[in-house]
C-alpha cells in the first residue's frame, strides 16, 4: 500500500512539472512575422574613399622623422563615411550616415538593418555615396522586386549592390 501511495505522489509531482511545460510548448503561439509581411535586410561592409591627397615631403621633413618612418609622401588615412538611403515605392524607409571604424576613422564602415515590408510588387531603390568629395550618390541599385509573404531578401554590397 505504501508503494502505491509513493507512485501516485510521484505521478502527481511529474504532472505538476510537465503540465506547464506542455502548456508553454503548445499554446502560446509565436509569430515570427505577420502573414502579409516580408523582410528586407541591408548588410554592408565597405571602405569609403580616402579623404585628401598625398603630399610630398621635403628632405628636411623626411630627415626629421625617425628612420623607421621615413617615406617620400605623407598620405592621409581617414576614410569617407557611407551615406545610405533605401526607398521603397518612392518612400524613404531608411537613411543613415555610417562612419568608418578605427581609431583614426580609417577602417571599414559596417551596417546591418532589418526592415519588415509589405509583401507584393515594389520598386526598390538603394543608393550609397562612399566619397565625401562626390556630390549625390555614386552607387545605386534600382530594381522591381516581387516579395512573397515571409520571404527574406538581403541587399549586400561588393563592388556594387546585390539582391539575394
Domain boundaries, the chain: 1-30, 37-51+78-163
How far apart are alpha carbons 123 and 144 in whole angstroms?
5
The mean of the pLDDT values for the chain is: 90
Helix (H) or strand (E) holding 66: none
pLDDT digits (tens, 9 = 90+) for 62-83: 888 888 888 888 888 899 999 9
What residues contact residue 118 under an 8 Å CB cut-off, 6+ apart? 36, 37, 38, 147
User: What percent of the chain shows pLDDT beyond 70?
Assistant: 99
Spell out where the chain has E strands. 37-46, 55-56, 73-74, 82-88, 91-98, 109-118, 120-129, 139-147, 152-157, 161-163
Which pLDDT value is given to residue 148? Answer: 94
Q: What is the pLDDT of residue 61?
A: 84
pLDDT of 1 over the 80 cut: no
Band (pLDDT 50/70/90 cuts) for residue 113 is: very high
Burial 59-96 (b: 16+ CB within 10 A, else e): eeeeeeeeeeeeeeeeeeeebbbbbbbbbbeeeebeee
pLDDT 10s digits, 38-58: 999 999 999 998 898 888 888
For 11, list phi and psi in degrees, rounded to 5. -65, -40
User: What pLDDT was estimated at residue 109?
Assistant: 94
Strands 152-157 and 37-46: parallel
The CATH class given to the 37-51+78-163 domain equals mainly beta
Q: CA angle, 43 as apex, 33 and 150 as ends, to 5°?
A: 20
Amino acid at each position: 500500500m505504501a508503494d502505491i501511495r509513493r507512485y501516485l505522489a510521484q505521478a502527481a509531482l511529474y504532472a505538476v512539472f510537465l503540465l506547464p511545460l506542455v502548456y508553454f510548448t503548445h499554446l502560446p503561439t509565436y509569430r515570427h512575422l505577420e502573414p502579409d509581411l516580408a523582410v528586407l535586410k541591408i548588410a554592408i561592409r565597405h571602405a569609403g574613399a580616402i579623404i585628401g591627397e598625398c603630399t610630398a615631403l621635403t628632405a628636411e621633413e623626411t630627415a626629421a622623422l625617425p628612420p623607421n618612418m621615413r617615406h617620400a609622401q605623407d598620405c592621409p588615412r581617414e576614410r569617407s563615411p557611407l551615406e545610405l538611403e533605401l526607398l521603397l515605392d518612392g518612400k524613404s524607409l531608411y537613411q543613415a550616415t555610417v562612419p568608418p571604424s578605427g581609431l583614426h576613422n580609417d577602417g571599414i564602415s559596417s551596417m546591418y538593418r532589418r526592415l519588415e515590408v509589405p509583401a507584393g510588387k515594389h520598386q526598390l531603390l538603394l543608393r550609397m555615396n562612399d566619397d565625401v568629395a562626390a556630390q549625390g550618390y555614386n552607387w545605386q541599385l534600382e530594381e522591381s522586386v516581387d516579395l512573397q509573404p515571409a520571404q527574406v531578401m538581403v541587399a549586400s554590397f561588393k563592388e556594387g549592390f546585390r539582391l539575394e
